[in-house]
């Protein structure tokens, strides 16, 4: 099967590249090995100072609204982090002392939202908090069932119940000028968080939960749908296991599901992610890129791969495949002319700062621009 471009990896970087190419009439296939880091997405693209117009357009056409309002984002554990460009779910605060009194509302039996830590964090900023738990009859079945009380299970319920939540909140709200809720609203319908904000006479902030991320899942679904509507081929749950390359040019890749049926293309984009997604692999002796055998930047001495303290900067997160300035991936020191590496396989991201999303989008655009320049 032949395409103009085959993209390995169906996460944010792969989808942004795929949508951009397909929109320009380049037939594109994305091979995705399971779901991706968008399921852990904070909702902020933190290394993009200002959204490029094309990014706003691309997301807007997929039905995803972004807002650019530099400020502070309230983190799940009650700390603050600077952020600017974000999904509309994410509230960006002009200053850390954003309210005089805050109401933090949890849900019964839901342990992935840390009201106590949030209150501690806010009280350090001099904001007194009252903690409440929303009692909803409809949540009882979920609490009593054998399944886990995770963000998605609750978000499915909230897609139906959010109006009732608004009514209950209006009763709970006394003299507080801000309400903090877990980010479990708007799994299917992106307009729900905003409608909740409109229904409550106080600033409403949705604080991140433990994964999976509700706005992240929705973003993944919207981007994938957009790619398919444009005519792109999304091969879900497949895996590129081998590549055919000759004299610095990649000709085709082999996937687990299509076995003897190779995917041929003029261009290839490697967006297979970092260690978690197995874009990079490690064993006790080396760090490798498994599909093309690309050159990887890493510290030779294994003791230098990690810092003993979990929360310290971890050197292994800087590891990534080597590229030239045009993002062409290097193999044995020489660039593969039609293979571009984008997203977190490049290394150098700091997941705890959410910089992966910014890198994914920027590098995807950079690769796409070069492919569009090189007419086939």
Partner 1 sequence: MKLQEYTESKHNFEECMKCTVCTVYCPVLQVNPLYPGPKQAGPDGERLRLKDPYFFNYALKYCMNCKRCEVACPSGVHVADLIQSARIRYDHSAPKLRDRILASTDLMGSLARPVAPIVNGVTGLGITRSVLDATLQIDHRRVFPKYSGRSFERWLSRRSKEQAAFAEQVAYFHGCYVNYNHPQLGKDLVKVLNALGVGVQLLEKEKCCGIALITNGMSEQATKQARHNVGALRKAVVDRGLKVVTTSSTCTLTLREEYPNLLDVDVSEVRDAILTATRYIYERLEKGATLPFRPDFHKRIAYHVPCHMEKMGWGVFSERLLRMIPGVEFTLLDSNCCGIAGTYGFKKENYEAAQAIGAPLFEQIRTVAPDVVACDCETCKWQIEMSTGFPVQNPISILAEAIE
What residue ranges bind partner 1 (CB under 8 A)?
A: 1, 33-36, 39-40, 141-142, 145-148, 150, 152-153, 156, 211-212, 217, 225, 228, 233, 235-239, 255-261, 276-277, 283-284
Based on CB atoms, which residue is closest to partner 1, 146 or 333? 146
Q: Which of 285/300 has CB closer to partner 1? A: 285
String of DSSP letters for 127-180: --EEEEE---GGGHHHHHSSS---HHHHHHHHHHHHHHHHHHHHHH-SS-SEEE
Smaller CB separation from partner 1, 102 or 220: 220
Cβ distance to partner 1 smaller for residue 236 or 376: 236
Quote the least distance from Cβ 258 to partner 1, whole Å: 7
Q: What's the rounded Cα separation, in Å, for the pair 258 and 360?
A: 27
With vertex at residue 354, the alpha carbon angle to CA 341 and CA 50, rounded to the nearest 5 degrees, is 85
Q: Which is nearer to partner 1, 74 or 263 (CB)?
A: 263
Please, which residue, 142 or 178, has the CB nearer to partner 1? 142
Cα angle, residue 227 at apex, residues 51 and 23 outer, rounded to 5°: 70
CB of 276 to partner 1, least distance (A): 7
Distance CA 266, CA 250 (A): 8
Q: Is the peptide bond before 336 cis (omega within 30 degrees of 0)?
A: no
DSSP-derived 3-state class of residue 320: strand
Helices (H) and strands (E) in the chain, counts: 8, 18
Q: Which is nearer to partner 1, 74 or 265 (CB)?
A: 265
- Nearer to partner 1 by C-beta: 85 or 142? 142
Give, in order, the Cα–Cα distances in Å from 48 to each of 148, 270, 355. 36, 21, 9
Beta carbon of residue 159, minimum distance to partner 1 (angstroms, whole number): 11
Residue 340 CB, shortest distance to partner 1, in Å, is 22
Count Cα atoms within 13 angstroms, Cβ side, for 355. 11
Cα–Cα–Cα angle for 313, 315, 321, rounded to 5 degrees: 135
Least separation in angstroms between CB 305 and partner 1: 17
Q: Is 208 helix (H, G, I), strand (E, B) or coil?
A: coil
Shortest distance (Å) from residue 201 CB to partner 1: 34
In the complex with partner 1, the residue whose CB is nearer, 182 or 335, is 182
- The two tokens of residue 233 are 């081929």
Nearest approach, Cβ of residue 214 and partner 1 (Å): 10
State the alpha helices, DSSP H only, in 213-305: 214-229
Taking the CA atoms of the chain, what radius of gyration do you get in angstroms?
22
Q: For tokens 């090995």, name the residue.
A: 33
Q: Considering the complex, what minimum distance in angstroms separates the CB of residue 346 from partner 1?
A: 19
Largest CA distance in the chain: 71
Does residue 202 contact residue 180 with C-beta atoms inside 8 Å? no
Residue whose CB is less far from partner 1, 276 or 324: 276
Return d(Cα 333, Cα 6) in angstroms, integer. 23
Cis amide leading into 268 (omega within 30): no
């Amino acid at each position: 099967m032949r395409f103009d471009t085959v993209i390995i990896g169906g996460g944010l970087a792969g989808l942004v590249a795929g949508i951009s190419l397909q929109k320009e009439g380049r037939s594109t296939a994305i091979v995705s090995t399971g779901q991706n880091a968008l399921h852990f997405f904070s909702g902020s693209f933190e290394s993009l100072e200002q959204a490029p117009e094309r990014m706003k357009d691309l997301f807007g056409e997929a039905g995803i609204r972004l807002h650019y309002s530099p400020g502070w984002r309230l983190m799940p554990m009650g700390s603050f982090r600077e952020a600017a460009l974000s999904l509309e779910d994410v509230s960006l605060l002009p200053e850390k002392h954003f309210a005089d009194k805050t109401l933090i509302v949890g849900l019964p039996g839901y342990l992935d939202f840390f009201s106590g830590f949030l209150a501690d964090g806010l009280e350090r900023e001099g904001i007194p908090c009252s903690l409440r738990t929303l009692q909803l009859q409809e949540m009882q079945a979920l609490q009593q069932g054998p399944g886990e009380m995770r963000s998605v299970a609750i978000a499915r319920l909230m897609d139906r119940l959010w109006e009732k939540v608004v009514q209950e909140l209006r009763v709970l709200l006394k003299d507080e000028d801000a309400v903090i809720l877990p980010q479990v609203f708007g799994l299917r319908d992106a307009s729900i968080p905003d409608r909740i904000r409109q229904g409550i006479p106080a600033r409403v902030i949705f604080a991140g939960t433990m994964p999976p991320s509700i706005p992240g899942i929705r973003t993944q679904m919207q981007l994938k749908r957009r790619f398919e509507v444009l005519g792109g081929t999304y091969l879900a749950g497949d895996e590129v296991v081998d590549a055919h390359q000759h004299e610095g040019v990649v000709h085709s890749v082999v996937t687990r599901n299509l076995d003897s049926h190779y995917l041929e293309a003029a261009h290839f984009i490697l967006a297979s992610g970092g260690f978690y997604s197995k874009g990079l692999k490690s064993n006790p002796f080396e760090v490798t890129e498994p599909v093309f055998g690309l050159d990887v930047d890493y510290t030779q001495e294994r003791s230098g791969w990690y810092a003993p303290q979990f929360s310290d900067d971890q050197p292994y997160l800087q590891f990534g495949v080597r590229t030239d300035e045009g993002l062409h991936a290097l193999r044995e020191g020489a660039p593969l002319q039609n293979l571009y590496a984008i997203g977190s396989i490049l290394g150098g991201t700091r997941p705890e700062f959410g910089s992966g999303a910014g890198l994914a989008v920027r590098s995807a655009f950079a690769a796409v621009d070069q492919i569009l320049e090189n007419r086939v």
